[in-house]
Amino acid sequence: MSDPKEKPKHQYADSGEASHIYLLPNSLTAGNLFFGFLAIMQCIEANYATDPSVINEHFTQAVWFIFFGVVCDAFDGRVARMGGRESLFGIEFDSIADVISFGVAPAMMMVFLILKPTEQYEGVLHISQLIGFIYLLCAAVRLARFNVLTHPMLPPAERLKGTKDFLGLPVPAAAGMVASLVLVYTSFETHGYQMHGFELLMPPLMLAVAFLMISNIPYPSFKDIDWQTSTRVRTFILLILSLGLAFIIKELAFALIFFSYIAFGPIRHLYRIYRARKRLHKTAIKVSE
């Protein structure tokens, strides 16, 4: 029988330990926040610009800043885990940075880019603002839910651990999907091609992505991939060919990568449900026999 005075292993020793600021991982998180701030500034400047080429340039820079934020976000947690330097401060700081870089920045990008050609229609303006807020709200809820489910104060049995998947679409992937489509749009516009229907595509896409963020659909986290990870020859060759194809199609590559990841979650989830029902059906047949 355990001593009631004994401190649970899932709790930090004191507030100082929980709020410890480790330099390297939190510097990467600060970099994520910095790039999110720059992306927002570029969206604001694009909103006040009048020259189409200048507008596209601002949005393109905003997209790259979001991508840089994704890179920082991908490494801050990994660096913290590798060095055993995880803290409650780092977890909360990371979520705040993610709300700015992957919540506010994509929402503003969508609103300013969609509203610009339709700003004379008041109804469209309000609907676009509402969709942007819904996306931001779902991103914030997704991050808050993740913090709650992984909080060290929860009993280990109730904590979201022991799984290689995220619960719901990760916020950086959602922002990457939005940003990559904007990159395709600005690239086509810069080269003189018109993407008719883009303004109609973005709002439902934002709503779909928002729904996936707060869903219970599992998405792979790739947390186990490191320098010791091995793979099959076919997988390695396929990866190299994919990198070569990405270099050829350039801007389209980012959109294809993020879309493939987003689509993979629901497809795998539905396939797992199908297999589970099939096994249950076979079991029921054997029992009846």
Confidence band of 122 (pLDDT split at 50, 70, 90): low
Mean pLDDT over 145-160 rounds to: 68
Q: Are 153 and 10 in contact (CB under 8 A)?
A: yes
pLDDT of residue 239: 74
pLDDT in tens, 249-285: 777 888 898 999 999 999 999 998 988 888 887 777 7
* Spatial distance between the Cα atoms of 55 and 109, rounded to a whole number of angstroms: 11
* Spatial distance between the Cα atoms of 70 and 183, rounded to a whole number of angstroms: 15
The pTM of this model reads 0.83
In order, the DSSP letters of 161-189 are: -S-SEEES--HHHHHHHHHHHHHHHHHHH
* Spatial distance between the Cα atoms of 67 and 60, rounded to a whole number of angstroms: 11
Q: Is the predicted pLDDT of residue 180 greater than 60, yes or no?
A: yes
Q: Which residues make Cβ contacts (< 8 Å) with residue 172, sequence separation at least 6?
A: 69, 70, 73, 74, 98, 102
Mean pLDDT over 39-58 rounds to: 90
Mean pLDDT over 167-183 rounds to: 93
* Spatial distance between the Cα atoms of 119 and 217, rounded to a whole number of angstroms: 36
Domain range 15-225, its CATH number among 1.10.3470, 3.30.1050, 1.20.120, 1.10.10: 1.20.120
* Spatial distance between the Cα atoms of 105 and 179, rounded to a whole number of angstroms: 9
Q: Are 36 and 100 in contact (CB under 8 A)?
A: yes
pLDDT of residue 78: 79
198-213 helix and 122-149 helix, angle to the nearest 10 degrees? 20
pLDDT of residue 213: 95
- For residue 167, the cross-strand partners are 218
Q: Is the predicted pLDDT of residue 85 greater than 70, yes or no?
A: no
pLDDT in tens, 13-39: 555 555 667 778 889 999 999 999 999
pLDDT cut 90: percent of the chain above it: 36
- For residue 218, the cross-strand partners are 167
Which sequence spans correspond to the domains of the chain?
Answer: 15-225
Mean pLDDT over 63-90 rounds to: 83
Q: Are 141 and 214 in contact (CB under 8 A)?
A: yes
pLDDT of residue 4: 41
